[in-house]
């Protein structure tokens, strides 16, 4: 559940940090050592369960031409991310470590951008599955055996070469959405294709479907896109409301700059000033006077600071205070994790 501008994520506030009580030294050299280091970092520093097939994804990213980077190479990056590789666009492919998440929720795979993250897949297996399908589709002389070999047992269990060609689906996008899972970029492309065909009804239905809470919990991007679509068809008041709703999500999940969404919401700096007030000493005292628990106030502050940092991508400027907030909020593991860097 999220509170406007920065509150709880999945029932607990969105972000924070303090000096790590333990230090782990990681250096990535060979492929096998980089895999081991990522797995150890996730377990020992991020205090999370390593995805079962992460080692296969890392090898597949290498085959795709993405250099593997150290999980500790976090300078300048959104601090809740665990770097995996650098893609051809220069962005970092990473795992997202939510401060809290429902039991059983796996870490999503994201692309780290200046103002936040873009969701690539809900989990590692889903991303592996998509890569294999697209590899199968893009190779005219049969699939790239090196990519399928890199996927190892994970690939065998997820996708069989030629399944795409044997299917009755009209396109790769349709196959992925029906057989692999929901992806933000594919849903957005479907909407835009429907618009180009003049099928406004289908476009609007898919746009609305995109925003269902169960599809992409914690991410504001679906609501931003829906606001853009409403604006496109001249439903300006609904677009304004949708954009304001999007800003109740973490601003680093909007998939664009805060300013772009605030413009549709017809807000200037009101929300920025509101959040700055909330993280001030006076604002925190007011929350305590209203009966909010000190730990909750600290975690809210962490979330608000992440929102503010997303505006200009100034993550490193707030990471130490965010760590202190996590420590004060009882999330020592998160404090250690966000502080850790090369």
- Residues 6+ positions from 132 with CB-CB distance below 8 Å: 143, 147, 148, 151, 155, 158, 159
> What b/e readout covers 283-294, taking b as 16+ CB neighbours within 10 angstroms?
bbeebeeeeeee
Token pair listed for 281: 């000493």
Find tokens 């795709």 and name the residue.
64
pLDDT at 140: 54
Give me the domain span that covers residue 23. 1-122+216-342
Q: Is there a domain that residue 186 lies in?
A: no
pLDDT at 103: 75
Q: Is there a domain that residue 132 lies in?
A: no
Q: Is there a domain that residue 157 lies in?
A: no
Q: Is there a domain that residue 339 lies in?
A: yes
- Residues 6+ positions from 202 with CB-CB distance below 8 Å: 194
Burial of 90 (0-12, 13-18, 19+ CB in 10 A): exposed
The whole-angstrom separation of Cα 209 and Cα 222 is: 9
The whole-angstrom separation of Cα 341 and Cα 98 is: 18
pLDDT at 30: 46
Classify strands 12-13 and 8-9 as parallel, antiparallel or unpaired. Answer: antiparallel
Token pair listed for 132: 């294999």
- Residues 6+ positions from 145 with CB-CB distance below 8 Å: none
Kindly state the greatest CA–CA separation across the chain. 69
pLDDT at 139: 74
Q: Cα 3 to the chain's mean position, in Å?
A: 18
pLDDT at 34: 83
Q: Is there a domain that residue 20 lies in?
A: yes
Rounded (10°) angle between helices 200-210 and 221-232? 160
Token pair listed for 103: 């039991």
Q: Is there a domain that residue 338 lies in?
A: yes
Is 80:66 a contact under the CB 8 Å cutoff? Answer: no
pLDDT at 31: 64
Cross-strand pairs, 68? 85
Q: Is there a domain that residue 301 lies in?
A: yes
What is the pLDDT tens value at each position of the chain, 342 positions in all? 333 333 444 433 343 333 333 334 444 444 677 889 999 999 999 999 999 999 999 999 999 999 999 999 999 999 999 999 999 899 999 999 999 877 778 999 999 999 999 999 999 999 999 999 999 998 755 556 889 999 999 989 999 988 998 998 989 999 999 999 999 999 999 999 999 999 999 999 999 999 998 999 999 999 999 999 999 999 999 999 999 999 999 999 999 999 999 999 999 898 999 999 999 999 999 999 999 999 999 999 999 999 999 999 999 999 999 999 999 999 999 999 999 987
Task: State how many domains the chain has.
Answer: 1
The whole-angstrom separation of Cα 82 and Cα 77 is: 9
Q: Is there a domain that residue 84 lies in?
A: yes
């Amino acid at each position: 559940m999220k509170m406007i501008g920065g509150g709880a994520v999945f029932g607990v506030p969105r972000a924070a940090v303090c000096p790590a009580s333990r230090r782990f030294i990681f250096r990535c050299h060979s492929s096998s050592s980089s895999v081991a280091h990522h797995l150890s970092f996730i377990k020992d520093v991020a205090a999370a369960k390593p995805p079962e097939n992460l080692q296969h994804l890392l090898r597949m990213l290498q085959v795709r031409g993405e250099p593997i980077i150290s999980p500790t190479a976090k300078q300048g990056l959104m601090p809740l991310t665990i770097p995996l590789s650098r893609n051809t666009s220069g962005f970092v492919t990473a795992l997202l470590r939510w401060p809290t998440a429902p039991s059983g929720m796996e870490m999503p795979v994201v692309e780290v951008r200046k103002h936040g993250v873009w969701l690539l897949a809900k989990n590692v297996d889903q991303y592996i599955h998509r890569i294999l399908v697209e590899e199968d589709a893009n190779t005219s002389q049969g699939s790239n055996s090196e990519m399928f070999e890199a996927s190892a047992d994970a690939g065998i269990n997820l996708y069989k070469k030629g399944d795409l060609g044997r299917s009755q689906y009209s396109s790769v996008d349709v196959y992925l959405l029906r057989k692999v899972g929901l992806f933000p970029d594919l849903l957005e492309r479907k909407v835009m294709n429907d618009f180009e065909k003049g099928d406004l009804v289908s476009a609007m239905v898919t746009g609305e479907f995109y925003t269902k809470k169960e599809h992409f919990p914690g991410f504001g991007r679906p609501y931003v896109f829906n606001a853009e679509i409403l604006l496109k068809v001249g439903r300006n008041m609904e677009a304004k409301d949708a954009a304001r709703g999007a800003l109740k999500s973490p601003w680093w999940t909007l998939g664009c700059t805060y300013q772009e969404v605030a413009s549709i919401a017809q807000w200037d700096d009101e929300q920025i000033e509101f959040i700055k007030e909330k993280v001030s000493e006076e604002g925190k005292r007011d929350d305590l006077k209203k009966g909010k628990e000190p730990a909750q106030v600290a975690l809210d502050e962490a979330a608000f600071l992440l929102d503010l940092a997303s505006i200009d991508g100034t993550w490193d400027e707030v990471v130490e205070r965010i760590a202190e907030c996590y420590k004060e909020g009882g999330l020592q593991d998160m404090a250690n994790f966000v502080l850790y860097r090369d």
